[in-house]
């Protein structure tokens, strides 16, 4: 059946124009004037934008002894209610566990997704098996991104040797490495020192992870990527130190992308000083929220294009789960929600304030990541031939965020009380109305896995070691010790 979205303004990352959008069999078949279709949706006064893509989520993840509260069904429903029609979740094998086994487990968990999804694969250790399985992950399983945790010592953290090996392998396979940039050794030392001094509350989380810890790891990962000859994507960029490293790398010609979270753009580190323990612990995530100076640099990066994508790192834990760390902040499961709020909060704090144009909003919420992950223009565009994943956006709609009305399964919301102007009116996923003005129509299982092709392994040519050859005609004098 065909659906016609009539009378709206189509907004892509590169242009906006008044146009109708015709959808058939899950695809956009035409964008133009005076089109006709069987079912008509009136988009007068609204923007018609690509559905949001959140490239950083953790559904039903076993992490720090707890399983994150939103599963693929409720996480994707939360996403749809906020205008996001696709998530990319992290498939995380335990160190030493087969990637292929972990992949099967994630596919199984994701069967109940109500919206489309894809995966990044985490490299949590290094061995000949990991080396070989990475090829199958790329060529057989449709995943072209590998995530590396430089933090979480003793759990998921990898060292520089492992990073370099994996980055080289990514270069060979045309895959893109991702890093969680924090120096896990230093964090562990600082955590121990703080606990020894009697700092046990959630504020200790932020003290133990200063911006330098992140900036050092970001710089290191960028240098290792340069030596390995691969591009790099840095997840959850929270501070000037990391932004500066990305800026310099870009200026030097490296392909490095940075992903701030919407939380970092509007929430600051004073949240960890809140006298209500549950409130402060609910904001514990890594890296932590920063001060105003760091917020400003993230906005500047989005405005100038040195930062590319706004994500959420949605990894929600209930109050009970957070209380595992009542006596020791290092035991508070790290993670917050945000999926259903990302687009309205970014629109309100970004577009309504004049920081971002509506086209830049589309770039940061869908088009840029679709290009980086090699799924554009199937995703991230309102274009004939693209998947019909669309959000009809009412720039005048108002909404006060409250946990009482959220779709996510947890009892609190880090944006509680935030007043949004600009919100989805109707959300269309693969050509079907998934959510309309509070009515969730998408069902568990409606989502599909999105496979992504690798890039050509051209970056290998840039590897520093490739340029090193034995100098000709140099006679070395034998030295006897």
Contact 39, 1 (CB under 8 A): yes
Give the x/- contact pattern for ligand URP in 57-86, rule: CB under 6 A. -x----------------------------
Instruction: Tell me: does residue 153 bind ligand URP (CB under 6 A).
Output: no
Instruction: Tell me: does residue 335 bind ligand URP (CB under 6 A).
Output: yes
**Sequence-separated (6 or more) residues with CB below 8 Å from residue 391:** 48, 49, 50, 51, 52, 83, 85, 343, 424, 426, 427, 428
Q: How far apart are CA 264 and CA 417, in angstroms?
A: 17
Give me the DSSP letters along 147-158: EEES-STTTTB-
Of 50 and 75, CB closest to ligand URP = 75
Instruction: Tell me: does residue 180 bind Zn ion (CB under 5 A).
Output: yes
Instruction: Tell me: does residue 138 bind ligand URP (CB under 6 A).
Output: no
379, with CB counted inside 10 A (0-12, 13-18, 19+), is buried
Rg (CA), the chain: 23
Shortest gap between Cβ of 60 and ligand URP (angstroms)? 13
Of 156 and 228, CB closest to Zn ion = 156
Selection from ligand URP, Zn ion, none that 285 binds (CB < 5 to 8 A by kind) is ligand URP
Of 272 and 347, CB closest to ligand URP = 272
Selection from ligand URP, Zn ion, none that 283 binds (CB < 5 to 8 A by kind) is none
Structure tokens at 250: 């870009």
Structure tokens at 448: 């599909």
Q: Which of 4, 59, 221, 285 binds ligand URP (CB under 6 A)?
A: 285
Q: How far apart are CA 30 and CA 33, in angstroms?
A: 9
Nearest-5° Cα angle at 65, 74 to 176: 65
Q: Which of 191, 208, 286, 426 binds ligand URP (CB under 6 A)?
A: 286
Strands 16-18 and 9-11: antiparallel
Instruction: Tell me: does residue 239 bind ligand URP (CB under 6 A).
Output: no
A 10 A CB-CB count for 400 gives 11
Of 222 and 234, CB closest to ligand URP = 234
Name the closest residue to ligand URP (Cβ). Answer: 334
Selection from ligand URP, Zn ion, none that 205 binds (CB < 5 to 8 A by kind) is none
Q: Give the SS3 label for residue 184.
A: helix
Shortest gap between Cβ of 90 and Zn ion (angstroms)? 6
Binders of ligand URP among residues 75 to 134 (CB under 6 A) are none
Select from 38-46, 174-182, 250-258, 412-420 the region that touches Zn ion (CB under 5 A).
Answer: 174-182
Instruction: Tell me: does residue 259 bind ligand URP (CB under 6 A).
Output: no
Q: Which of 223, 212, 80 shows the shortest CA–CA distance to 164?
A: 223
Name the closest residue to Zn ion (Cβ). Answer: 180
Strands 20-24 and 419-429: unpaired
Q: How far apart are CA 385 and CA 406, in angstroms?
A: 33
Selection from Zn ion, ligand URP, none that 297 binds (CB < 5 to 8 A by kind) is none
Of 236 and 399, CB closest to ligand URP = 236
Selection from Zn ion, ligand URP, none that 84 binds (CB < 5 to 8 A by kind) is none
Q: How far apart are CA 284 and CA 472, in angstroms?
A: 57
Of 334 and 462, CB closest to ligand URP = 334
Q: In terms of DSSP H, where are the helices of 151-291?
A: 160-173, 184-196, 203-207, 211-228, 240-251, 262-266, 277-281
Give the x/- contact pattern for ligand URP in 183-222, rule: CB under 6 A. ----------------------------------------
Selection from Zn ion, ligand URP, none that 334 binds (CB < 5 to 8 A by kind) is ligand URP
Instruction: Tell me: does residue 313 bind Zn ion (CB under 5 A).
Output: yes
A 10 A CB-CB count for 291 gives 12
Shortest gap between Cβ of 58 and Zn ion (angstroms)? 5
Shortest gap between Cβ of 326 and ligand URP (angstroms)? 18
Q: How far apart are CA 351 and CA 360, in angstroms?
A: 9
Shortest gap between Cβ of 70 and ligand URP (angstroms)? 12
Contact 234, 150 (CB under 8 A): no
Contact 286, 437 (CB under 8 A): no
Strands 116-122 and 84-91: parallel
Residues engaged in binding Zn ion (CB under 5 A): 180, 313
Residues engaged in binding ligand URP (CB under 6 A): 58, 180, 236, 285-286, 313, 315, 334-335
């Amino acid at each position: 059946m065909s659906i016609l979205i009539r009378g709206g303004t189509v907004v892509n990352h590169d242009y906006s124009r008044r146009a109708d959008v015709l959808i058939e069999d899950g695809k956009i078949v035409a964008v133009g004037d005076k089109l006709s279709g069987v079912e008509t949706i009136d988009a007068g006064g609204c923007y018609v934008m690509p559905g949001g893509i959140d490239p950083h989520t953790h559904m039903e993840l076993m992490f720090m002894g707890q399983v994150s509260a939103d599963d693929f069904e409720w996480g994707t429903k939360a996403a749809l209610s906020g205008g996001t029609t696709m998530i990319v979740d992290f498939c995380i094998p335990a160190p030493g566990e087969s990637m292929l086994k972990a992949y099967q487990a994630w596919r199984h968990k994701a069967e109940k997704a109500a919206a489309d999804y894809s995966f990044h694969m985490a490299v949590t250790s290094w061995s000949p098996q990991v080396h070989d399985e990475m090829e199958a992950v790329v060529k057989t399983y449709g995943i072209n991104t590998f995530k590396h945790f430089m933090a979480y010592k003793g759990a998921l953290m990898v060292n520089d040797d492992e990073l370099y090996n994996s980055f080289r392998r990514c270069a060979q396979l045309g895959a893109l490495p991702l890093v969680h940039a924090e120096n896990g050794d230093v964090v562990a030392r600082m955590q121990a020192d703080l606990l020894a001094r009697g700092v046990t509350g959630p504020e200790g989380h932020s003290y133990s992870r200063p911006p330098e810890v992140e900036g050092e790891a970001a710089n290191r990962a960028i240098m290792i990527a340069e030596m390995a000859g691969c591009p790099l994507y840095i997840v959850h960029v929270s501070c000037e130190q990391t932004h500066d490293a990305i800026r310099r790398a870009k200026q030097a010609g490296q392909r490095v992308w940075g992903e701030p979270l919407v939380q970092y753009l509007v929430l600051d580190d004073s949240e960890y000083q809140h006298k209500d323990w549950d409130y402060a612990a609910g904001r514990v995530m890594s890296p932590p929220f920063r001060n105003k100076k760091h917020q400003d640099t993230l906005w500047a990066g989005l405005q100038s294009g040195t930062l590319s994508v706004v994500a959420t790192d949605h990894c929600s834990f209930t109050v009970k789960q957070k209380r595992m760390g009542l006596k020791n902040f290092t035991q508070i499961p790290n993670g917050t929600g945000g999926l259903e709020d990302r687009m309205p909060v970014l629109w309100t704090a970004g577009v309504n304030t004049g920081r971002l144009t509506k086209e830049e909003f589309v770039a940061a919420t869908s088009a840029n990541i679709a290009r980086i992950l090699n799924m554009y223009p199937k995703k991230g565009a309102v274009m004939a031939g693209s998947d019909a994943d669309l959000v009809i956006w009412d720039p005048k709609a108002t909404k006060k965020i409250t946990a009482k009305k959220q779709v996510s399964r947890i009892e609190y919301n880090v944006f509680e009380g935030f007043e949004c102007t600009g919100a989805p009116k109707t959300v269309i996923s693969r050509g079907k109305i998934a959510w309309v003005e509070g009515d969730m129509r998408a069902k568990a299982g409606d989502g599909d896995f999105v496979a992504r092709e690798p890039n050509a392994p051209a970056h290998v040519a840039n590897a520093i070691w490739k340029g090193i050859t034995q100098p000709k005609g140099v006679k070395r004098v034998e030295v006897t010790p």
